[in-house]
Amino acid sequence: MTLETVSTTRSHGGVQAVYRHTSTATGTPMVFSVFTPPQALGGANCPVVWYLSGLTCTHANVTEKGEFRRWAAELGLIIVCPDTSPRGEGVADDAGWDLGQGAGFYVDATEAPWAPHFKMWTYVTEELPALVAAHFPVDMGRQGITGHSMGGHGALTVALRYPGRFKSISAFAPIVAPAQVPWGQKAFPAYLGGDQTAWRRHDAVALIEDGARVPEILVDQGTADGFLDNQLRPQLLADVCAKAGIALTLRLQEGYDHSYYFISSFIEDHLRWHAARL
- Label residue 56 exposed, middle or buried (CB < 10 Å: 0-12, 13-18, 19+): middle
Domain ranges for the chain, please list them: 3-276
Active site residue 11: no
SS3 145: strand
Out of 149, 170, 220, 270, the active site residue is 149
Active site residue 210: no
Out of 153, 202, 258, 274, the active site residue is 258
Active site residue 270: no
Query: What is the Cα 49 distance to its own chain's centre?
Result: 10
**What pTM value is reported for the model?**
0.98
Out of 148, 168, 225, 274, the active site residue is 225
CA 151, CA 203: separation in Å to the nearest integer? 12
Q: How far is CA 261 from CA 33, 54, 188, in A?
A: 20, 14, 29
* Reported confidence tier of residue 2, pLDDT bands at 50, 70, 90: confident
pLDDT digits (tens, 9 = 90+) for 49-71: 999 999 999 999 999 999 999 99
Average pLDDT of every residue of the chain:
98
Q: What is the CATH number of domain 3-276?
A: 3.40.50.1820
**For range 12-20, the mean pLDDT:** 98
Q: Is the pLDDT of residue 1 over 80?
A: no
pLDDT digits (tens, 9 = 90+) for 102-161: 999 999 999 999 999 999 999 999 999 999 999 999 999 999 999 999 999 999 999 999
Q: pLDDT at position 89, please? A: 93
